[in-house]
Structure 1
């Protein structure tokens, strides 16, 4: 089935919700609970880790149920995507609306409970949604285009949402150094985000429902008891293992970096909230450019080599502002060239990150076909639930490690920048530069063993047919 641009557009639109969730956790959640409410960093990281343990069970189950769900009218994916919308929005709002006068442990329980709900309802959309993307086309190169639409929407809209929030919701009051200290802004902004998440998911479901009759069907219905057997079979595939391990390694570093981005920009580079809002747009620009770059790089170098090149360049450019500052070669804080230079480096980094992720998700769709050639069964839900879990697990581990790292460098909570010792702020640079760069580069070793190229894929498709 060839997929027209309108269908790709509506398909990608649903993943705006994923981008908004990511920007909330990257910029607002960690800062809100730690710096505004005073929750200990270990608690904030642990809350995310506990939510991930729940994901470890729920994601594969959602994938398997979706794989085996039968409805001639609504298909295997769309019912789950549709019912996720409203509960996801409500949970997102309530995360930022804790009861007054909660103690440390009660705040921890609140963050844990609603993080679990947000991740569960996001999985209810994300796992079937990613599986749908693999089913829309069997063309080797078009699959990269489809995943590029998904990643573009996930990265394009959320910076605009964040920018709008920082300008119109997070207004400094009573001599605040930044509007992020305005506690009353968080629930209002969360409601704004929730409404966008609900509407974009429902529009995506509506805009892709015409594809249902042409989507692949399950050859033979299986029970949840077969889940472990299928996972074991998949784990023996070299192609599957290399993609999952690569994804886990890259997202551990991203989880650390994303959860500390507000700290990096506010304390290490001393940017104000308007400048931070501008920097966030680098990810959006990178996502748009990667929509065109990923298919071209995949065609020119093949997918595996494209991932290796893109990941290396991403790690190099993303860590360079920190590494160059440590070497005394980066513009000083407060100078006109600082934000321009930082924005340029991060935009280039994001182009290659999103290119790499587009190619990896396209490669996983190819792995699903390889699995079918071995077992005569299609399990997009199972495979992409594993990718979803690997993503959420390692990002969550990144949040957890970020809390530990802040604790190790004795970074204070509820403190203005002028009251933080310079040696502590310098240690933030060591995290953002050398530490994360090493993890980014280490991820490349896992993708080296991936065995499927275009020729091998054509052989797999011939065997399936």
Structure 2
């Protein structure tokens, strides 16, 4: 009788967990922290290569190599940070919140100094300063982003609410990207008589660095104080064993996670999606400026449309995912993204007609904005479900480790892409001193975005086909874990 009563209590506990939904104001509070992530990612991702090559005069191959190495450093530290966050046992801050404070302040300070490098100092000093500051930004980004992302997976066990939390988080991420790209182009990079293309004005980058650093801190603090009240509840997930941070334990953790087939499907798909996005983000300014002769204002319009569609499409993707489930929805988003890349390649082929007109790029921006909107949100929601399966098999929740390894794949792909972009710019003989590049140069860099991104999205589509969880399966996994069912054959990893 006692055993039956205990099982009934566990079932009631499981049902009560399913009904605990997070208030929208708290979802917004948590999501606001991703505005800081969007700002730092876009400032570095969109402007740094251009700033270093066109403003500081550093060769593209050097910058590509430096950025690639910094992101490799960033990537390999993510699993360490995730694992370290998982085994943190702070009574005051729980497992995540102290890192939100430390990471955001460090990112902001390094970002401020990055955009205040004197173009007239010797090349060696300029390059050394770039390398040091980028390494600092990447290190503090890891300290901030990995625990922050893991926190989102802890806030809810509801299958659909997880997607909603990620949707709100994605909206703030996209707003952060849009703020830098659209607001930055309109405000910081205004054309002037001396600089008709505002993005060539060195002073603009200093203003952007100061404002963006203040914003990074402000939104991170809002996230911290909004979600602080959940620390007592989340303490239940703190591991009570005596695990310590070590290389051996990390590799044991990595092996366990990598052997999870669903993790591999999501992480590889996410990685290939990022390669496509990184090509557009890091080479887009070169292509719009030199292939299509768009002004900073016109670039802002195109990018603004893309981000606006991505933001307003978030509720649509939430409903699509709710109705058709996560995997089919993600595949649909990838197919739309492939179509947008092929449209961009077509625009390169008619570049003579498209030059100087933003209107030609509006259909591309709308298609790309809608397709990639779901790809920002759904994979992170799927990863929370993968962690449920792992909890059933191991008896512990390892959000930090899983998202740390996911971010590692994401950043390694970014590193490879930036390395390739730097060398491509040199190989196609891009010359920052020329107002008009060679025709072969502008065609190749345009096709790298169109065709290269399409190929990467195809690889993403192939990867996600291996994912095997759905809504009913995840509910069974959560129920089995809640009532102490132990390892199950519901879905073997």
TM-score band, normalised by shorter chain:
over 0.9
Q: Does 1:223 align with 2:244?
A: yes
Q: Pairwise mapping of residues 337-416 of structure 1 onto structure 2 (< 5 A)? A: 338-416=357-435
Q: Pairwise mapping of residues 155-166 of structure 1 onto structure 2 (< 5 A)? A: 155-166=174-185
CA distance in structure 2 between the aligned counterparts of 1:92 and 1:329, rounded to whole angstroms: 36
Contact 2:38–2:173, Cα closer than 8 Å, also in 1: yes
The DSSP-based 3-state class of the residue aligned with 1:152 is: helix
Please name the residue that 2:263 is paired with.
Answer: 240
Please name the residue that 2:354 is paired with.
Answer: 332
**Residues 276, 100 of structure 1: alpha-carbon distance in 2 compared, 3 angstrom cutoff:** closer
**Residues 340, 456 of structure 1: alpha-carbon distance in 2 compared, 3 angstrom cutoff:** same
Please name the residue that 2:203 is paired with.
Answer: 184
Equivalent pairs, count: 459
Contact 1:50–1:112, Cα closer than 8 Å, also in 2: no
| Displacement after TM superposition at 1:100 (Å) | 5.3
| Cα shift readout 1:272-304 (whole Å, capped 9, x = no counterpart) | 011111222134213322320221121222111
Q: Pairwise mapping of residues 86-125 of structure 1 onto structure 2 (< 5 A)? A: 86-99=105-118, 101-125=120-144
Out of 431, 436, 444, the position equivalent to 2:461 is 444
Out of 77, 97, 110, the position equivalent to 1:58 is 77
**Residues 413, 364 of structure 1: alpha-carbon distance in 2 compared, 3 angstrom cutoff:** same
| Cα shift readout 1:43-70 (whole Å, capped 9, x = no counterpart) | 1111111112322332111111111112
- How high is the TM-score relative to the length of structure 2? 0.89
Farther off after superposition, 280-289 or 251-260: 280-289
CA distance in structure 2 between the aligned counterparts of 1:351 and 1:251, rounded to whole angstroms: 16
CA distance in structure 2 between the aligned counterparts of 1:408 and 1:217, rounded to whole angstroms: 51
Farther off after superposition, 302-311 or 290-299: 290-299
Q: Does 1:253 align with 2:289?
A: no
Contact 2:75–2:407, Cα closer than 8 Å, also in 1: no
Contact 1:93–1:190, Cα closer than 8 Å, also in 2: yes
Contact 2:68–2:415, Cα closer than 8 Å, also in 1: yes
Q: Does 1:295 align with 2:318?
A: yes
Contact 2:72–2:411, Cα closer than 8 Å, also in 1: no
| Displacement after TM superposition at 1:174 (Å) | 5.2
Contact 1:243–1:360, Cα closer than 8 Å, also in 2: yes
CA distance in structure 2 between the aligned counterparts of 1:6 and 1:223, rounded to whole angstroms: 36
Out of 166, 187, 207, the position equivalent to 2:226 is 207
The DSSP-based 3-state class of the residue aligned with 1:452 is: coil
| Cα shift readout 1:340-363 (whole Å, capped 9, x = no counterpart) | 341232122122212122111000
Q: Does 1:129 align with 2:152?
A: no
CA distance in structure 1 between the aligned counterparts of 2:461 and 2:96, rounded to whole angstroms: 32
| Cα shift readout 1:223-243 (whole Å, capped 9, x = no counterpart) | 113221111111111001111
Q: Does 1:312 align with 2:335?
A: yes
- Structure 1, unaligned runs of 5 or more: none
Please name the residue that 2:90 is paired with.
Answer: 71
CA distance in structure 2 between the aligned counterparts of 1:290 and 1:389, rounded to whole angstroms: 27
| Cα shift readout 1:87-117 (whole Å, capped 9, x = no counterpart) | 1111001111224544334322222211111
Please name the residue that 2:490 is paired with.
Answer: none
| Displacement after TM superposition at 1:148 (Å) | 0.8
| Displacement after TM superposition at 1:331 (Å) | 5.0
Out of 422, 445, 448, the position equivalent to 2:439 is 422
Contact 1:148–1:290, Cα closer than 8 Å, also in 2: no
Please name the residue that 2:41 is paired with.
Answer: 22
| Displacement after TM superposition at 1:4 (Å) | 0.8
Contact 1:156–1:287, Cα closer than 8 Å, also in 2: no
CA distance in structure 2 between the aligned counterparts of 1:402 and 1:238, rounded to whole angstroms: 31
Which is higher, the Rg of structure 1 or of structure 2? 2
The DSSP-based 3-state class of the residue aligned with 1:15 is: helix
Contact 2:347–2:354, Cα closer than 8 Å, also in 1: no
Contact 1:369–1:378, Cα closer than 8 Å, also in 2: yes
